[in-house]
Amino acid sequence: RVEVPGDERALFVKSSSATIRVPEIGVEITPGAFSQGEITTVEGIILGLIDVLKLACESPSDPCTSKIQYLQGVLEGKNHLTIVVEDPTGVSRILSSKAEVKKIKLKEEKQLLGE
C-alpha cells in the first residue's frame, strides 16, 4: 500500500506473467503475448498508468480523468493506493516492509496461467 510519501519509491520487480490490480480505481493490467518483465518503482507503475489513461481519455468528463486525478493525488501524498500483484511464477515482488506476500492455490495458479 502507498500511504505516506516515500512509499512510492519501493522497488517493484514484475515478471512477464504478472497481473497487476489497483482496486481503488478499478484498473487491472494483464500480461499479453509479448509481455516482458521489468524492474521499476511503484512510482514508475503509477506514472505508467497515468500515461495510458491519458491516451484513453477523450474528454475531461471521461471517467478515466478521475482515475488520473486520483493517481496524481497518490503521488502528492493525498490519496492511498493498493497494488495487488498476482504472479503464477512467484517471481514478482514489491520490495517494501509493507508488502504482503500470499501463496496462491494450485487452482488459482492454473487459472492465471490459462491452463
Map out the domains of the chain as residue ranges: 7-113
> Residue 113: its pLDDT value, please?
57
Radius of gyration over every alpha carbon of the chain, rounded to an integer in angstroms = 15
| Res. 24 pLDDT band, cuts 50 70 90 | very high
* CA distances, 55 to each of 35, 43, 48, 60 (Å): 19, 19, 11, 12
Q: Which residues on adjacent β-strands are paired with residue 14? A: 38
Q: Which CATH number is associated with domain 7-113?
A: 2.60.120.1040
Pure H helices in the chain: 42-56, 63-75, 106-113
Question: pTM higher than 0.85, yes or no?
Answer: no
Q: What is the pLDDT averaged over residues 72-94?
A: 92
Q: Which three cell numbers stand for residue 38?
A: 521489468
Most confident of 2-6, 31-35, 37-41: 37-41
- Kindly report the average pLDDT of the chain as a whole number: 87
Q: Which residues on adjacent β-strands are paired with residue 2? A: 81
Q: What is the pLDDT averaged over residues 57-84?
A: 91
Q: What is the pLDDT averaged over residues 43-67?
A: 91
